[in-house]
Amino acid sequence: MNRKVLEKVNEISEADILVGIPSYNNARTIGHVVRAVQAGFAKYFPDRKTVLVNSDGGSTDGTMEVVHSAGIDDFRSILLSHKTSSFLKIAIPYHGIPGKGSAFRTIFQIADALKVKACAVVDSDLRSITPEWIELLIKPVIVDNFDYVAPLYQRHKYDGTITNSIVYPLTRALYGRRVRQPIGGDFGFSADLARFYLTQNVWETDVARYGIDIWMTTSAIANDFKVCQAYLGAKIHDPKDPGSDLSAMLYQVVGSTFDLMNTYAGAWKDVTGSQPVPTFGFHYDVGLEPVSVNLERMIERFCLGVRELGSVWKDVLPTGLFEFFTDLITSSQEDFAIPDGAWVETVYSFAVAAHKKLLNREHLLRSLTPLYIGRVASFVKETQESSAAEVEEKIESLCRVFEQNKDTLRCNWD
Amino acid sequence: MNILDRIIIEPFERLYEKLLLFLPNLLTSLLLVIVGILLGIFVKWAFLRLLRAINLDGLSQKFGIQEAFSRSGVREPLSLITSRVMKWLTIITFVIVAMQNLSIPTVEHLIDKIFLYLPNIFIGALVLILGYILSNFLGQAALIAAVNAGIRSAGFIGKSVKFTVFLLSCTMALEQLGIGKDTIIVTFSIVFGGIVFAFAIAFGLGGRDFARDYLERRLKGNEKRDEINHL
């Protein structure tokens, strides 16, 4: 922490609750998030000393200025009765590798220095955050002594496809806990867990970037911290930058997941099946914005990958599976489908290849992109007419295949 | 008797004298070769243990060097290859010293020449090996990046990168060996410049419509974009 932040922390001295918001050029949306957090503090924790920390990655659009100026002037407009609670704000740029993980590290350090009892982090691009999110993420920690509160959202069926097709099923099959949104981005956690995170030597790896979410969830589960999830309603956020690179995202998230498989091999090898985790919050259905999908282009990308990357995959994929993919590119769009079994075998093969270092790590993980796009295309095709509940059942079915085939992973791992 | 001495005995005596002078050198040389072989075996064993202790094979796997070797048909791990090279370098050094010890002017002259040229061969070979490994690595990186960007000619791009890097390393290696120094640089410049020029013309003329369509699509946003949030 730099001198200015230390001065501010010393000035505040201690606090009960801290909510962190990592940001980078989110001036458009962060004001709403700050107001929701402030209202949440006022409504649910009026007697507690609360702090909001904005950890910024060097925004050039005035994000930090928005954080400083945003706030609720007149609580009578949103609360019938309220006490004047103590609400403090810190907006600072973080240091280290540019990325969400480095922003979180600064938040953890401030939480540790202020000796808070509970923390939460929420994304700065959220448009659907409400004051209730703060209650749902913090109260399980303060009241029920949980260490980690993962989010549970109502999302569009084509939203969070890396979560639905890789991270959730794989994490569930490995560690045996059904945390539905392991990389949701909005989490609550205890001071003990924040301190544990700070002691880990991962801040120069992909954890400092997109890998932070899966690392936090997996570390909490694998180290036997008390984990639960809270239903937050809809997750609607600003659309991602269209220029953001899918293969980089996939590389960082899947790479971190595979790295954690190495770190916690002892924790997952003996696990069979999975158990639900306690869930808080009132479930309700929400209307979601439609998501536009170009199915034809996705299948084209898959076919291009299979045609060109055979030499890269030859030592990674089993021969039968590779032949299945090569046969698939000759089929028509109507017949295009990557079944659960083939997809699970693909993910497990890549995990084993990464573990055994069969190929340069970055080449291996980036080469997964066309196969992932193919799987998403297959999923979109299969669920075009499906309701949210039917889609959830399909994801559940995929998770079961991941669990059933875990023996193959165990055998190939050593 | 005198004639017999001069024709038969004296040459034999001279041969005998020369043999007496040469024999210790020959025996020393043989001993040097035997020591070289034994030392070579020891060096191979020591290097193999050392390189395995520092996990050279793991590192070579990580950086794609092992894969590049596999592609060229070499299946042995890098630690074994390196230790074998060290063994043969030791043996060859001892053989050369042994040959010099024989004090034969022609052999000495030849060895001097070889010794002067040897560093060039070594550096040339090193440049070529590194160039081959680098060309494979960069070619694969370019191929994957192009596939992920959805470029239809991804295979061609990957091969072009691989070929260009390897061509560059060949040029550097040949330049190091002093073979047709200027000719190679000029040839490389002409070939490389020609390729770039050909591409420029091809894109300028043949790809005019494609470039216009592409820019229109990008700027006007006619193409139906995915709004999937992957995370």
Residue A355's contacts (CB-CB under 8 Å, 6 or more residues apart) are: A258, A261, A262, A413
Task: State how far residue B223 is from chain A, nearest Cα, in angstroms.
Answer: 9
Lowest mean pLDDT among A86-90, A102-106, A165-169: A86-90
- CB contacts, 8 Å: A247 with chain B: 144-145, 148
Question: Hey, which residues 41-100 in chain B have their CB within 8 Å of chain A?
Answer: 58, 61-64, 67
Domain boundaries, chain B: 1-103
Question: Hey, which residues 351-370 in chain A have their CB within 8 Å of chain B?
Answer: 357-363, 366-367, 369-370
Residue of A162, A242, A293 lying closest to B230 (CB–CB): A162
pTM beyond 0.95: the answer is no
Q: What's the distance, CA B116 to chain centroid?
A: 19
Q: What is the pLDDT of residues A298-321, one digit of tens each?
A: 999 999 999 999 888 988 999 999
How far apart are the C-alpha atoms of B121 and A343, rounded to whole Å? 50
B226 touches chain A (CB under 8 A): yes
The count of CB pairs under 8 A between chains A and B is: 99
- CB contacts, 8 Å: A183 with chain B: 231
Residue of B63, B146, B225 lying closest to A292 (CB–CB): B225
- Contact criterion met (CB < 8 Å) for B150 and A185: no
- CB contacts, 8 Å: A292 with chain B: 224-227
For the purposes of burial, counting CB atoms within 10 Å of the CB of A81, is it exposed (0-12), middle (13-18) or buried (19 or more)? Answer: exposed
- Contact criterion met (CB < 8 Å) for B229 and A240: yes
Distances in Å between the Cα of A309 and the Cα atoms of A363, A379, B95 are 11, 22, 48
**Contact present, A354 and A386 (Cβ < 8 Å):** no
Which amino acid makes up residue A137?
A: L
Q: What is the pLDDT of residues B147-206, one digit of tens each?
A: 998 888 899 999 999 998 998 888 888 888 888 767 767 777 777 787 777 777 776 666
Q: Pick the more confident residue, B206 or A43.
A: A43
- Contact criterion met (CB < 8 Å) for A367 and B144: yes
Q: ipTM of this model?
A: 0.84
Residue of B nearest to A214 (CA): B231
Question: Hey, which residues 1-30 in chain B have their CB within 8 Å of chain A?
Answer: none
